[in-house]
Structure 1
Amino acid sequence: MKYLPINKDLFIKNRKNFMAQMKPNSLAVFNSNDIYPVSADSTLPFEQHRDIFFLSGVDQEESILIVYPDCPKESLREVLFLRETNEHIAVWEGEKLNKERAFETSGVKTVFWLQDLEKVLAEMMAYADTVYINTNEHYRAKIETETREARFTKWLLAKYPAHSVAKSNPLLQRLRSVKDQIEIDLIQKACNITEKGFRRILGFVKPGVWEYEIEAEFAHEFLRNRSKGFAYTPIIASGSNANVLHYIENNQQCKDGDLILFDVAAEYANYASDMSRTIPISGRYTDRQKDVYNAVNRVKNEATKMLVPGAIWADYHVEVGKLMTSELLGLGLLDKADVQNENPDWPAYKKYFMHGTSHHMGLDTHDYGLLHEPIQANMVFTVEPGIYLPDEGFGIRLEDDVVVQESGEPFNLMRNIPIEVEEIEDLMNQ
């Protein structure tokens, strides 16, 4: 792995918290992800299933974690199954975890090779009454591929039909949404790498460069700082491309007088950061661009203050909508009649700001979190308002990542990434 070792106390604590929520005499199973084929013998780069990583720190394929806190056999209360490594694998694929290093990574003392799974699992299931299966119930999930986890669940339920079944996902949604300090430090590291990338491109962007050249500058800086690269597909959208919310072609030339919107961020140790900035390609904002930019920035700053313990995500978005409506009235983009006659299900401000303001983030860019439950301290959220003006040829989005505090305003993990108009212009014109 490119990243430095993570303190295994994080994973020990995560398992302890998960097991404390399990039903009596139950076990839970977590699988690694597949390596997905492309064609011929080509594959996509491996990405570990975030749940097994959260609970073990194991970051390789063909791995299974089973936790069974009430198991009468103490050695089987936490068990890892790994693909057996050997000299051939070490030469052709690189070193894999052996049993000693698996313990150093995860804190799990009992480690078997994967070929022992069915025998050991049969013993554990003979003791257990309930089995927890791990489904993906994230509100944005759209899954067309059968995952390794899904295949295993199908096999498990067919082989052991007499067991009661429970779901891991609701427990993980709650646990993963509230971050340990070690996790916050890892997200901060990702944000710091993102900052280095952004500062690098401030000196690079000028009329005539291509969006993909800017993408390459970000990638260079991310990789040289121990990141695997982008936390999500980067958006580098100059001119009116910024009005396409998920513009990812990044293939246009940057023109004098236009703005360029970045929604680009680094990952570190599988933890995401998520940044948006909008800068002038020529190094100076026009008065109109500056007015719209500052309106978006004011909404971001005021919205951030609303992310406090006890707040409800849906209510928060209603309040942010009121902030944006006020700014759009001030910019002359809406008038009072627009607001008075608006459709409550699609308020007038949605013409110019059609997406949400905040989402959970952590191991996934759109991380786990039950949106109907109150916000808690140590949850990490994005704050990303925008105003999109196709008729004027530009769009502006600004986004920071913040940690909810027990009291007071959230802590901004991107506090050192330039965002004020004057600072960006100064840095671009040094």
Structure 2
Amino acid sequence: MKYLPIDNKLFIKNRKNFTAKMKPSSLAVFNSNDIYPISADSTMPFEQHRDIFYLSGVDQEESILVLFPDCPKEKHREILFLKETNEHIAVWEGEKLTKDAAFKTSGIKTVYWLQDMEKVMFELMTQCDTVYINTNEHYRASVETETREDRFTKWLKDKYPAHSVAKSNPILQRLRSVKDKVEIDLLQQACNITEKGFRRVLGFVKPGVWEYEIEAEFMYEFLRNRSKKFAYTPIIASGNNANVLHYIENNQQCKKGDLILLDVGAEYANYSSDMSRTIPVSGKFTKRQKEVYNAVNRVKNEATKLLIPGTDWAEYHVEVGKLMTSELLGLKLLDKADVKNENPDWPAYKKYFMHGTSHHMGLDTHDYGILTEPMQANMVFTVEPGIYIPAEGFGIRLEDDVVIQKKGEPFNLMRNIPIEADEIEDIMNS
């Protein structure tokens, strides 16, 4: 891992919060992700399952976490199973967690090698009534691959069919959506790295550069600041490419007079940042571009103020829609007849702003959070309105990551990243 060590008090606290929500005489199991093959002997870079990381800090394949708070044996109330390391593995693959290193990382004292898992699990299963399995119930999830977690769940239910089964996900959705101070600091670090990348790009962009060259400038700055990668596939969309919401080819040349929509973010310690900025290739917005840009920025600023404890996510989007409608009327993209005759299920503003304004942020870019429950302090949301005008050859999206506060406006984790049109022009022309 490139990131600095995280105080294991975070993971100890996370486990305590999780086990407090478990049923009596119950056990919960969490697995690492697989290392996925590409072809021949090639594999994709390992990405840890965010749930086992959240509860243990273990960032290594072939790891299993077991939580059994009512276990008669105190030492079995928290267990890590790890792939056994040795000198041969250290030479060929690099150093893996030893039992002592796993304790320092997680705060879990009982660590077994993976080959002992079935034997230990048999003992544990004779002592519990309910097993919590970990299913992916995120509202955007679409998983076609059988995961290591899926295979383990099949094995467990087949071997122990008489046990009751419960779901970990509803507990984790609520816990992970409200961030600890340590988590907010890690998110801030991810945003700070993103800022460095953006400032680098502002000094780099000029007519004739290619979108992939801009992507490379971000990646350079991310890697040299302890981020292993983009938090998600970056969007570097010049000209009309910006009107394709998930444009990721990043293979076109940036032309004089065009805008570039940048939707990029660095990860840090598995925590994601998510930034959108739109900048002029030539270093200066046209009058019309700036008009639309400032309209988007006003919507973002006003939408941010609505993110307070108790806000309903669906109602919030209705209110943002009203803000956007007003701006689109001012830009003469809509007229009063468009609004009067709009379809309530697809309001008139959706012609130019067709996506949502905010989503949870955290270990995942689209993080855990139950959207039917009111917003709470220390939840982290994006704010990302946009206006997309194919007929005029550009689209603009602006996005910050903010922390909901107990009182007052949210705290902007991207407060230091330039966003005002005049400031961007000044930096690009300095």
Deviation, 1:286, is: 0.3
Alpha-carbon distance between aligned partners in 2 of 1:213 and 1:49, rounded to the nearest angstrom: 31
TM-score of the two chains, using structure 2 as the length reference: 1.00
Q: Deviation digits for residues 133-155 of structure 1, max 9, x if unmatched?
A: 00000000000000000000000
- Aligned pair 1:301/2:268, yes or no? no
3-state SS in 1 of match to 2:126: helix
Within 5 A, what are the aligned runs for 1:209-224? 209-224=209-224
Deviation, 1:294, is: 0.2
The aligned counterpart of 1:205 is: 205
3-state SS in 2 of match to 1:333: coil
Within 5 A, what are the aligned runs for 1:176-195? 176-195=176-195
- Aligned pair 1:175/2:166, yes or no? no
Within 5 A, what are the aligned runs for 1:96-111? 96-111=96-111
Alpha-carbon distance between aligned partners in 2 of 1:66 and 1:229, rounded to the nearest angstrom: 30
3-state SS in 1 of match to 2:425: helix
Alpha-carbon distance between aligned partners in 2 of 1:126 and 1:249, rounded to the nearest angstrom: 53
Alpha-carbon distance between aligned partners in 2 of 1:72 and 1:334, rounded to the nearest angstrom: 67
- Aligned pair 1:146/2:146, yes or no? yes
Question: Which residue identity lines up with residue 187 of structure 1 in the other structure?
Answer: L
Question: Which residue identity lines up with residue 331 of structure 1 in the other structure?
Answer: L
Q: Deviation digits for residues 179-238 of structure 1, max 9, x if unmatched?
A: 000000000000000000000000000000000000000000000000001000000000
Gaps of 5+ in 1: none
Q: Deviation digits for residues 340-373 of structure 1, max 9, x if unmatched?
A: 0000000000000000000001000000000000
Question: Which residue identity lines up with residue 124 of structure 2 in the other structure?
Answer: M
Within 5 A, what are the aligned runs for 1:20-419? 20-419=20-419
Q: Deviation digits for residues 83-112 of structure 1, max 9, x if unmatched?
A: 000000000000000000000000000000
TM-score of the two chains, using structure 1 as the length reference: 1.00
Alpha-carbon distance between aligned partners in 2 of 1:305 and 1:193, rounded to the nearest angstrom: 25
Question: Which residue identity lines up with residue 181 of structure 1 in the other structure?
Answer: K
Alpha-carbon distance between aligned partners in 2 of 1:174 and 1:53, rounded to the nearest angstrom: 16
Deviation, 1:175, is: 0.2
Alpha-carbon distance between aligned partners in 2 of 1:35 and 1:167, rounded to the nearest angstrom: 25
Question: Which residue identity lines up with residue 288 of structure 2 in the other structure?
Answer: R
Q: Percent same amino acid at aligned positions?
A: 83
Q: Deviation digits for residues 380-420 of structure 1, max 9, x if unmatched?
A: 00000000000000000000000000000000000000000
Question: Which residue identity lines up with residue 388 of structure 1 in the other structure?
Answer: Y
3-state SS in 2 of match to 1:127: coil
Alpha-carbon distance between aligned partners in 2 of 1:229 and 1:135, rounded to the nearest angstrom: 26
The runs of at least 4 consecutive aligned structure 1 residues that moved more than 3 Å come to none
The aligned counterpart of 2:11 is: 11
Deviation, 1:17, is: 0.1
Q: Deviation digits for residues 151-189 of structure 1, max 9, x if unmatched?
A: 000000000000000000000000000000000000000
Deviation, 1:298, is: 0.2
Alpha-carbon distance between aligned partners in 1 of 2:260 and 2:428, rounded to the nearest angstrom: 13
Question: Which residue identity lines up with residue 253 of structure 1 in the other structure?
Answer: Q
Question: Which residue identity lines up with residue 252 of structure 1 in the other structure?
Answer: Q
**How big is the alpha-carbon RMSD for the aligned residues of Structure 1 and Structure 2?**
0.3
Query: How many residue pairs get matched?
Result: 430
Gaps of 5+ in 2: none
Alpha-carbon distance between aligned partners in 2 of 1:36 and 1:422, rounded to the nearest angstrom: 46
Question: Which residue identity lines up with residue 355 of structure 2 in the other structure?
Answer: H
